[in-house]
């Protein structure tokens, strides 16, 4: 019977499905981070662990093999004996199509238990002399980190249909013509926007964010360096094409009204890796994350206890890459370079990304920059072209040779 925090019948049905269709069920469980701890019933935790062991080892999952393994582990009585095993195998699930539904229900109960735990912890912490702002921020991070929703593996037939029938559906247009031509940016891609300090990385990211949002694609911008107000002001000047000065008020107000209609969210309150990834998961499920931008990678805080900063940044890089793949979202990840031109603090960023877009200033040409593609997985590398840099309005555009004449 369900108490709101557990559904033993659903857990048993999922175990039944894994016994009958393991090659269908375990990939869905893995994709949705279903683990032993996802099950509230001790019998189901033992059964899931046994089935996962057999499947991971490439062994057949049938009644005799399961009985033998449980016997070796001295767990047969703990799972309810042969009678419960037979009931689970033969009476609880009769269609493999039910697997995603069962996974969703199990995840929903996991989320409820997570909410309960987070609230209990926050209640205890609220009695301590902790600033209220910190308490609320920590509670928000706990809530954001709770997994929910279900993701299904995409079938090969679906991939092929989309590839041939809608070849541009998964491509995000930055509206920087040469960039779209030489380095197409698609779903599941994690592309680095790299450069030295003050190279214009944020200007490029904000320009792309506005361009993409104008196409009706929802953009989420995680800022770990600048306040949302400052970024909004820079987007407004970019849309208006004039600096943020009083005598340009009419154009700025028009740009503000236009920005209000664009599907752009700026989130400047998250610093942790788990919080950002959980937020991406939630927004993706609500179809509110068509493009994710993180500004910037080396400021994201990993929760691991690794003292080595390189390992921490490597964890950030790999986790973001997995998040892109799981939720099928494209990500622009800003990163700083060292003096030697390599990504600061960890080479993992270069190894995990699908492409790098490198911004460099040109001496004696303040309004022109080079945007290059040193490497990418989905096209030729070592591509270089010019773009126009309008520093007064924080915008990067297609190259215009006569920009000084404006």
Same domain membership, residue 401 and residue 281 = yes
384-395: average pLDDT: 91
Residue 194: beta bridge partners? 335, 358
At 315-337, the pLDDT tens digits run 889 999 988 888 889 999 999 88
Q: Rounded distance, CA 178 to CA 380, Å?
A: 13
Same domain membership, residue 180 and residue 45 = no
From 12-21, 92-101, 296-305, the region with the lowest mean pLDDT: 296-305
Identify whether 341 is part of a domain: yes
* pLDDT score of 2 more than 60: no
Could you write out the three-class secondary structure of 19-81? HHCHHHHHHHHHHCCCCHHHCCCHHHHHHHHHHHHHHHCCCCCCHHHHHHHHHHCCCCCCCCH
* pLDDT score of 404 more than 60: no
Same domain membership, residue 376 and residue 250 = yes
* Region at 386 (left for phi over 0; alpha for psi -120 to 50; beta for the rest): beta
Structural domain of residue 376, as residue ranges?
166-405
What is residue 209's predicted lDDT score, i.e. its pLDDT?
A: 96
Q: Rounded distance, CA 223 to CA 231, Å?
A: 9
Identify whether 222 is part of a domain: yes
Of 124-128, 211-215, 242-246, the range with the highest mean pLDDT is: 211-215
What is residue 246's predicted lDDT score, i.e. its pLDDT?
A: 80
Statement: the pTM of the whole predicted model exceeds 0.85: no
Confidence of residue 291 (pLDDT cuts 50, 70, 90): very high
Strand residues in 338-382 grouped as ranges (E)? 355-362, 365-373
* pLDDT score of 8 more than 80: yes
* SS3 label, residue 359: strand
What is residue 148's predicted lDDT score, i.e. its pLDDT?
A: 63
Mean pLDDT (the chain) is: 87
Quote the number of domains for the chain: 2
Same domain membership, residue 108 and residue 182 = no
Say which residue, 4 or 17, is predicted with more confidence: 17
Domain boundary among 114, 147, 176: 114
CATH number of the domain where residue 352 is located = 3.40.50.300
At 47-104, the pLDDT tens digits run 999 999 999 999 999 899 999 999 999 999 999 999 999 999 999 998 999 999 999 8
Identify whether 288 is part of a domain: yes
Identify whether 161 is part of a domain: no
246-269: average pLDDT: 90
């Amino acid at each position: 019977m369900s108490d709101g925090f557990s559904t033993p019948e659903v857990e048993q049905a999922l175990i039944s499905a894994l016994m009958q269709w393991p090659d269908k069920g375990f990939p869905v469980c893995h994709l949705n981070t279903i683990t032993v701890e996802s099950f509230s019933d001790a019998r189901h935790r033992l059964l899931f662990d046994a089935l996962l062991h057999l499947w991971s080892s490439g062994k057949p999952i049938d009644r005799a093999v399961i009985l033998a393994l449980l016997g070796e582990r001295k767990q047969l009585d703990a799972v309810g004996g042969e009678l419960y095993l037979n009931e689970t195998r033969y009476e609880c699930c009769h269609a493999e199509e039910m697997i995603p539904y069962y996974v969703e229900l199990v995840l929903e109960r996991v989320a409820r238990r997570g909410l309960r735990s987070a609230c209990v912890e926050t209640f205890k912490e609220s009695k301590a002399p902790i600033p209220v702002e910190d308490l609320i921020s920590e509670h928000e991070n706990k809530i954001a980190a709770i997994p929910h929703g279900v993701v299904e593996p995409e079938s090969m037939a679906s991939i092929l249909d989309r590839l041939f029938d809608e070849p541009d559906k998964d491509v995000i247009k930055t509206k920087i013509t040469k960039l779209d031509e030489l380095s197409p940016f698609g779903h599941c891609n994690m592309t680095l926007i790299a450069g030295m300090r003050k190279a214009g990385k944020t200007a490029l990211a904000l320009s792309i964010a506005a361009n993409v949002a104008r196409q009706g694609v929802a953009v989420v911008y995680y800022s770990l360096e600048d306040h949302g107000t400052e970024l909004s002001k820079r987007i407004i000047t970019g849309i208006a094409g004039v600096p943020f000065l009083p005598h340009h008020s009419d154009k700025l107000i028009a740009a503000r009204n236009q920005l209000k209609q664009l599907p752009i969210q700026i989130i400047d309150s998250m610093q942790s890796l788990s919080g950002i990834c959980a937020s991406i998961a939630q927004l993706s499920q609500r179809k509110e994350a068509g493009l994710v931008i993180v500004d910037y990678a080396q400021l994201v805080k990993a929760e691991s206890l690794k003292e080595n900063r390189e390992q921490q940044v490597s964890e950030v890089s790999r986790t973001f890459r997995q998040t892109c793949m799981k939720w099928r979202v494209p990500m622009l990840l800003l990163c700083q370079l060292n003096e030697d031109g390599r990504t600061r603090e960890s080479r993992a960023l270069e190894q995990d990304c699908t492409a790098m877009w490198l911004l460099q200033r040109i001496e004696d040409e303040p309004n022109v920059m080079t945007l290059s593609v040193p490497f990418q997985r989905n096209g030729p590398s070592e591509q270089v072209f010019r773009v126009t840099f309008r520093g007064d309005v924080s915008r990067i555009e297609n190259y215009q040779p006569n920009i000084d004449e404006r």
